[in-house]
Amino acid sequence: MNRLVVVSNRVPAPAAAGAQAGGLAVALEALMERRGGVWFGWSGNLSEAPGPVRLAESGRVKYATIDLTAEEHERYYNEFSNSTLWPLLHSMPELMTFDRRNAQIYRQVNERLAEALQPMLRADDLIWIHDYHLMGMPQALRSRGVRAPIGFFLHIPFPSADMLASVPEAGALLRDLLAADLLGFQTENDVENFAEVACRIGDAVRMPNGWLSVGGRRVRLGVFPVEIEAHDFAAIAEDAWRAAPTERLRRSLGGQRLVLGVDRMDPTKGLLQRVAGYRRLLETRPELRRRVTFLQIAAESRKDVIAYRDLRNAVEREAGSINSEFSEPDWMPLRLVARAGARSTIAGYMREARVGLVTPLRDGMNLVAKEYVAAQDPQDPGVLILSRFAGAARQLGAALIVNPHDADEMADALDAALTMSLADRQARWRESWTAIQGASALAWGRSFVGALLRTAAAPLHARGVSGGDKGALAMANPLGLIARPLGGRDVDLTDGSTALRPPHMS
Ligand code: F6P
C-alpha cells in the first residue's frame, strides 16, 4: 500500500490528538489512524527563527511539524490566510484586507513547507494537501522535482471568478493548485466555480468526465462532501443526554424549549443575523416569551484577527441588548457562551434542543448540522433550521432551509420549528438521518485517496509526468483503477470504521 502523506496547516499534537481538533483534523484522523502515514504541517508553536522539522510518532502515524516565526504567524496565518483568503473564498469581500507583503510571506511559508517536506518523501507516496492555507504547495512541491500523485482538498467554499479577481494573488494561487492531479471540493457549485475560473484565468480547458486539460497535462476535479461518524455521534449523544451536564441544563430550563447554536466565533457563521432572527421572533410572537431559551455556544477563534475580535464585541452587545429588552426577573431569553464545550456535553445539549440553529452566511459544509441530526432521539426529534448557504443544505433538504439575512424568515422558521407536530418532526428527521447515516469520515477520506489512486492511473503523458517516474506511478496504482466522472462520488466499499471521533467546530 502506498504511504499517505497528509499536509495541513494544523496538525493535531499526537498526545492530545483530537482534544480540541477543528473540522479538518477530525475528518482526517479516522483515515490516518487506520491507514497510517505521515502528517505534516505547522506545530502550532512559534519560534524566533525558522527551525528544523520535529518528528513524533503515535500509533501508525508519524507527525512531522515545523514552527512558524511570529512574523510568519501574523502575515501567513492571521493576515493572508484568515483576513484575505478566508473572506474571499467565503464571498465576503467586505471583511477582506489585502497587503502584498502578506501574500509574499504566505508564499514563502508554502515554499518553506515544501522545502522541509521534500526530503522526507518517497517515490510511491500519495500526497494529500488540505485547505486554503496551502494553495501554493502543489506547485512548490512540483518545482522541487516531486512527481508523486498530489491531491488537494478545499474544506471551505470556492467563489465565483469575479469574486476571486478581487485579490491580485488569487490567479497565481489558482495556477499553483493546478499542479496537483486531483482537486477535491465540498459541493458541485464549488467545482463549477473552480472549473470556470481555471478556464478563464488558468488557461485550462474542460475535458469530458471531470478532467481539465492544463498546459498539456490533465487535472481531475471531484466532489467529496465531508461526513461525520453519524452512528458514533448518535450513541455519544444518547449517553450524554442522561449525564450530569445535560441534566443540569434541562433543570435550568424549567420546561422551556431549547434553541441551540454551536459555532466558532467567526464572521461567516452569521451570528449577528441569527440573533436578529431570534429578536424578531420575540418581537412578533410575544406568546413564545418565557417558553423558549436560545443557547448560543460561540467558541472563541482566531482572536488575533481584528474582524474576529470586533465580532465578539458585537455579538456580546446584541445578546446583552436582547436580554435587557426582553428578560423577566425569572427568565432570560438568550445565553451566550464564548467557550468550546466537551464533545459529549455538546452532543447531549444537541439531543436536548428542540431546535438546532445552523445559519452560516456561507459555509463549505458545516458538520454541526449533521451532528445535530445524528444527536436526535428518533422518537422525539428536534428540528434543524439550516442556512441555504451551507454546503450541508444540499444533503439535508428536509431541514427548514432559511436565508440567514432575512430576519423574518428566520423568525418564521423558529416559530414553525418550535410548534411543529411530532409526526412532522419525525418525518423530517428520518429523511435527514437517511442522508447521513450511511456515510463516515473514514469513508470520505478513503474515497478521496481512492480517487487519487485512480487519477494516478491515467496515462503518464496525460498527467504530464516524465518517463523516469513510471516505476513510482505503477506502485501508486496497484489496483489499476480508472477515474470516475466529475461529480461522481468514489465510495470505498472496504470501509468498516466505527472509531469514535473527537469534537470539532467547522
Ligand atoms: O477548514 C476550516 C478550518 O481551517 C478547519 O480546519 C477548522 O475547523 C477551522 O477552520 C478552525 O480554524 P483554525 O485552524 O484557524 O483554528
Q: At 456, is the pLDDT very low, low, confident or very high (cuts 50, 70, 90)?
A: confident
CB–CB of 205/474 below 8 Å?
Answer: no
Whether residue 474 is predicted with pLDDT greater than 90 in this model: the reply is no
Distance, CA of 224 to chain centre = 12
Report pTM. Answer: 0.90
DSSP state of 91: T
pLDDT at 27: 82
What distance in angstroms lies between residue 93's CA and the mean position of ligand 1's atoms?
Answer: 19
Determine which residue's CA is closest to atom 1 belonging to ligand 1: 155
Nearest ligand 1 atom, CA 23: 8
Nearest ligand 1 atom, CA 130: 1
* Cα separation, 53 vs 271, whole angstroms: 39
Whether residue 251 is predicted with pLDDT greater than 70 in this model: the reply is yes
Is the minimum distance from the CB of 23 to ligand 1 under 6 angstroms? yes
Which of helix, strand or coil describes residue 334?
A: strand
Q: Do domains 4-67+121-227+441-499 and 230-436 have the same CATH topology?
A: yes
Q: How many helices (H) and strands (E) does the chain have?
A: 19, 16
Q: What CATH class does 4-67+121-227+441-499 carry?
A: alpha beta
DSSP state of 287: G
Whether residue 497 is predicted with pLDDT greater than 90 in this model: the reply is no
Which of helix, strand or coil describes residue 21?
A: coil
Is the minimum distance from the CB of 131 to ligand 1 under 6 angstroms? yes
Is the minimum distance from the CB of 24 to ligand 1 under 6 angstroms? yes
Whether residue 271 is predicted with pLDDT greater than 90 in this model: the reply is yes
* Cα separation, 118 vs 143, whole angstroms: 10
Read off the pLDDT of residues 391-416 as tens digits, 9 standing for 90 and up: 999 999 999 999 999 999 999 999 99
Is the minimum distance from the CB of 503 to ligand 1 under 6 angstroms? no
What distance in angstroms lies between residue 366's CA and the mean position of ligand 1's atoms?
Answer: 12
Determine which residue's CA is closest to atom 6 belonging to ligand 1: 24
* Cα separation, 491 vs 489, whole angstroms: 6
CB–CB of 205/169 below 8 Å?
Answer: no
pLDDT at 484: 31
Mean pLDDT value of segment 271-289: 98
pLDDT at 476: 29
pLDDT at 119: 97
Whether residue 173 is predicted with pLDDT greater than 70 in this model: the reply is yes
Nearest ligand 1 atom, CA 301: 16
Is the minimum distance from the CB of 302 to ligand 1 under 6 angstroms? yes
Neighbours of 388 (CB within 10 A): 13
What distance in angstroms lies between residue 24's CA and the mean position of ligand 1's atoms?
Answer: 7
pLDDT at 23: 75
Residue 268, judged by CB atoms within 10 A of its CB (0-12, 13-18, 19+), counts as buried
What angle do the packed helices 23-35 and 367-375 form, to 10 degrees? Answer: 80
Nearest ligand 1 atom, CA 364: 1
- For residue 145 the three cell numbers come to 522535482
Q: Is the dihedral of CA 305, 278, 408, 434 positive or negative?
A: positive
Neighbours of 405 (CB within 10 A): 15
Residues forming beta bridges with residue 42, ordered by sequence position: 10, 66
What distance in angstroms lies between residue 61's CA and the mean position of ligand 1's atoms?
Answer: 21
Check 363, 412, 490, 504 and give the catalytic one.
363
Distance, CA of 346 to chain centre = 18
Q: DSSP letter string over 213-247? A: EETTEEEEEEE------HHHHHHHHHHHHHSHHHH
Mean pLDDT value of segment 411-423: 98
Whether residue 492 is predicted with pLDDT greater than 80 in this model: the reply is no
Residues forming beta bridges with residue 151, ordered by sequence position: 128, 182
Whether residue 504 is predicted with pLDDT greater than 50 in this model: the reply is no
Cβ within 8 Å of residue 380, ≥6 positions away? 422, 425
Candidates 107, 109, 39, 118; CA nearest to 69 is: 109
What distance in angstroms lies between residue 505's CA and the mean position of ligand 1's atoms?
Answer: 8
- For residue 436 the three cell numbers come to 447521513
Q: At 459, is the pLDDT very low, low, confident or very high (cuts 50, 70, 90)?
A: low
* Most informative mutation of 6, 85, 155, 186 for ligand 1 (most atoms within 8 A of CB): 155
Determine which residue's CA is closest to atom 4 belonging to ligand 1: 24
pLDDT at 468: 34
Mean pLDDT value of segment 220-234: 96
DSSP state of 390: B
Q: At 9, is the pLDDT very low, low, confident or very high (cuts 50, 70, 90)?
A: very high
Is the minimum distance from the CB of 10 to ligand 1 under 6 angstroms? yes
The percent of residues in the chain predicted with pLDDT above 70, rounded, is 89
pLDDT at 98: 97
Check 130, 133, 155, 504 and give the catalytic one.
155
Whether residue 490 is predicted with pLDDT greater than 60 in this model: the reply is no
Nearest ligand 1 atom, CA 156: 1
CB–CB of 255/289 below 8 Å?
Answer: no
pLDDT at 478: 25
The CATH code that applies to domain 230-436 is 3.40.50.2000
Nearest ligand 1 atom, CA 22: 8
* Cα separation, 8 vs 436, whole angstroms: 26
CB–CB of 62/134 below 8 Å?
Answer: no
Top pLDDT among 372 and 22 is at 372
How long a stretch of residues is the chain? Answer: 506
Q: At 15, is the pLDDT very low, low, confident or very high (cuts 50, 70, 90)?
A: low
* Cα separation, 242 vs 160, whole angstroms: 46
Nearest ligand 1 atom, CA 131: 1
Whether residue 487 is predicted with pLDDT greater than 50 in this model: the reply is no
What angle do the packed helices 306-326 and 271-284 form, to 10 degrees? Answer: 10
Determine which residue's CA is closest to atom 14 belonging to ligand 1: 10
Q: At 463, is the pLDDT very low, low, confident or very high (cuts 50, 70, 90)?
A: low
* Most informative mutation of 7, 9, 10, 39 for ligand 1 (most atoms within 8 A of CB): 10
Q: Where are the beta strands (DSSP E) in 131-256?
A: 150-153, 182-185, 204-207, 211-214, 217-223
- For residue 25 the three cell numbers come to 483534523
What distance in angstroms lies between residue 322's CA and the mean position of ligand 1's atoms?
Answer: 30
Candidates 273, 267, 345; CA nearest to 311 is: 267
Whether residue 20 is predicted with pLDDT greater than 60 in this model: the reply is no
Q: Where are the domains of the chain?
A: 4-67+121-227+441-499, 230-436
CB–CB of 449/37 below 8 Å?
Answer: no
Is the minimum distance from the CB of 22 to ligand 1 under 6 angstroms? yes
Whether residue 473 is predicted with pLDDT greater than 60 in this model: the reply is no
* Cα separation, 348 vs 345, whole angstroms: 5
What distance in angstroms lies between residue 108's CA and the mean position of ligand 1's atoms?
Answer: 21
Mean pLDDT, the chain, whole residue set: 89
Q: At 501, is the pLDDT very low, low, confident or very high (cuts 50, 70, 90)?
A: very low
pLDDT at 136: 98
DSSP state of 85: I
Q: What angle do CA 498, 475, 127 make, to 5 degrees?
A: 60
Tell me whether residue 155 is one of the annotated catalytic residues: yes
Which of helix, strand or coil describes residue 55?
A: strand
Whether residue 458 is predicted with pLDDT greater than 80 in this model: the reply is no
What distance in angstroms lies between residue 23's CA and the mean position of ligand 1's atoms?
Answer: 6
Helix residue ranges per DSSP H, 255-394 = 271-284, 306-326, 343-352, 367-375
